[in-house]
Chains A and B, each alone.
Chain A
């Protein structure tokens, strides 16, 4: 069985938050995954935006996600540019969270043959140099 590379050794540049996404990255320092929630339309959205994608009103709440979801689609990188070169094969997936949004993340602690659309996954974290954390997902069981 080929194990996917967890890419924990990759030195990533920490993302630079924008004024409207800072709350997301701040919460990752406490390993909490926050999503924007539109209370008028009772729906979540991701990536964070400066306005609701549902009605163009700016009033949005931050709510913590359960961290459970399933793989919506994925690819296996067998070729990568720095800083990921030499860390293949690794997986990038779109994960559908229980809250009804798709988030893109690396899949870790998983065998290559196990990755499939529909695979139940749970949140895990990968430390970044600035104290923030990057959300990753791993198989639920």
Chain B
């Protein structure tokens, strides 16, 4: 699938806020304007728009078209991608396919959500029939099952989870775009002592739902060369897996679709894990980071905490991780939240991360997690490998 002929030439994000006083379309317009100014690619040249789904958009069955109208875009290709937290990575993957197929040239991938202020969701899934009557509280409960099972199978060092929480928090403090409420230092003890939400899930395991937007501009390599962009980031491998091991009634819930999606992305990319200069895993819960380290092959299943203990995840450490703070410390912009870590990876590779700039900007690895099914782990796992000026 990956011809590597579509590239990212621009990125943008809004400040993440705990409650937005601005409408979702105003946030989207900010992304559009920033990308135009950054790239010099004018509005009339943008002929593709791929949107992540959003809680605010829920129920709007004409979302792509309405956004095109609000933003004044005349499009050859548009689509809304509905794979939850994987939607931003999935949007880039679909934009790349559209460009490679010759359908369009300049695609704005736009990730906006104001879930904290305006959540319009009405889920048609298993919850009403099978979990609401149990007091099941959604993602924290799902990750409660996963965490407890992980601990049963492998043992779990909660201090190692705390170390990851602290590393991300330190990055959010360096990130002006992170939600202000979370830009305060924490310690491993703060993590361990934070109150239980769905024991074993603690408050500091969880994301805080926020409002915000981000986006990237994808164009053809030919167009990027014609325009003479000096900074480009190339998606060189992508793997996506939905409903992993669907034909089994009971699965090991510590075994996730990232195992398969990671293999696919890395084999397309032709790079080794040790080549990546930074790692930007989707972080809805801290344990998800440990499980992704294992599934992607940084370490063996069950050895994630050992791996975490032995390394530094600071922007200037062994494996720079979620250098903008991740969603857990920068704030989760609803279903657009997967864009936060993606945009941070691109920013790092452009060398524009300021006081938290990583030294190795050649390659980065970004992931997604989306959707919570009944009694399994998560619905979609996505992995994208990026290289700079490739």
List of A residues within 8 angstroms of B148 by Cβ: 73-75, 117
Q: Which one of B123-131, B263-271, B351-359 contacts A?
A: B123-131
Q: How far is the CA of A102 from the CA of B148 in the complex (A)?
A: 15
Q: How far is the CA of A43 from the CA of B126 in the complex (A)?
A: 21
Known: A45-B249, A53-B247, A87-B135. A77 touches B198 (CB 8 A): yes
A74→B145 contact, CB < 8 A: yes
A25 to B, closest residue via Cβ: B129
Known: A43-B249, A92-B141. A7 touches B135 (CB 8 A): yes
Q: How far is the CA of A80 from the CA of B134 in the complex (A)?
A: 11
Q: How far is the CA of A126 from the CA of B133 in the complex (A)?
A: 11
B61 contacts partner chain A, Cβ-Cβ < 8 Å: no
B130→A47 contact, CB < 8 A: yes
List of B residues within 8 angstroms of A12 by Cβ: 132-133
A58-94 residues at the B interface, CB under 8 angstroms = 72-81, 84, 87, 89-90, 92, 94
Q: How far is the CA of A10 from the CA of B247 in the complex (A)?
A: 35
Interface residues on A, range: 35 or more
Q: How far is the CB of A128 from chain B (nearest CB, A)?
A: 8
| Binary per-residue interface labels of chain A (1-29) against chain B in the complex, 1 for a CB within 8 Å, 0 otherwise | 00000010010111111100100000000
B226 contacts partner chain A, Cβ-Cβ < 8 Å: no
Known: A15-B128, A46-B249. A10 touches B135 (CB 8 A): yes
- State which of A10, A21, A75 has its C-beta within 8 Å of the C-beta of B141: A75
List of B residues within 8 angstroms of A74 by Cβ: 144-145, 148
B302 contacts partner chain A, Cβ-Cβ < 8 Å: no
Known: A74-B148, A106-B134. A100 touches B197 (CB 8 A): no
A104 contacts partner chain B, Cβ-Cβ < 8 Å: yes
Known: A10-B135, A15-B130, A94-B375. A75 touches B144 (CB 8 A): yes
List of A residues within 8 angstroms of B133 by Cβ: 12-15, 128, 134
B375→A102 contact, CB < 8 A: yes
B199 contacts partner chain A, Cβ-Cβ < 8 Å: yes
Q: How far is the CA of A10 from the CA of B357 in the complex (A)?
A: 52
Q: How far is the CA of A53 from the CA of B243 in the complex (A)?
A: 11
B136 contacts partner chain A, Cβ-Cβ < 8 Å: yes
List of B residues within 8 angstroms of A101 by Cβ: 249-250
B189-227 residues at the A interface, CB under 8 angstroms = 195-201
Q: How far is the CA of A90 from the CA of B134 in the complex (A)?
A: 10
B134→A100 contact, CB < 8 A: no
A53→B136 contact, CB < 8 A: no
B129→A78 contact, CB < 8 A: no
Q: How far is the CA of A25 from the CA of B133 in the complex (A)?
A: 13
List of A residues within 8 angstroms of B250 by Cβ: 72, 96, 100-102
B144 to A, closest residue via Cβ: A75
B152→A117 contact, CB < 8 A: yes
A75→B249 contact, CB < 8 A: no
B58 contacts partner chain A, Cβ-Cβ < 8 Å: no
| Binary per-residue interface labels of chain B (100-131) against chain A in the complex, 1 for a CB within 8 Å, 0 otherwise | 00000000000000000000000000101111
Known: A72-B149, A92-B136, A117-B148. A102 touches B249 (CB 8 A): yes
- State which of B145, B198, B247 has its C-beta within 8 Å of the C-beta of A94: B145
Q: How far is the CB of B266 from chain A (nearest CB, A)?
A: 29
List of A residues within 8 angstroms of B144 by Cβ: 73-75, 92
Q: How far is the CA of A67 from the CA of B25 in the complex (A)?
A: 52
B154 contacts partner chain A, Cβ-Cβ < 8 Å: no
Known: A90-B135, A92-B134. A117 touches B149 (CB 8 A): yes
Known: A44-B249, A75-B144, A102-B375. A17 touches B196 (CB 8 A): no
Would you give 24 A-B contacts (Cβ < 8 Å), ordered by A? A12-B133, A13-B132, A15-B132, A47-B130, A53-B247, A53-B248, A53-B249, A75-B144, A75-B200, A76-B196, A77-B137, A77-B198, A78-B195, A78-B196, A78-B199, A79-B137, A79-B198, A80-B137, A81-B137, A100-B249, A102-B250, A102-B375, A104-B374, A128-B133
Given contacts A12-B132, A104-B375, 11 further A-B contacts (CB under 8 A): A7-B135, A13-B133, A15-B128, A21-B129, A73-B253, A75-B144, A75-B200, A80-B137, A92-B134, A101-B249, A102-B375
Interface of A toward B, CB cutoff 8 Å? 7, 10, 12-18, 21, 43-47, 53-54, 72-81, 84, 87, 89-90, 92, 94, 96, 100-106, 117, 128, 134
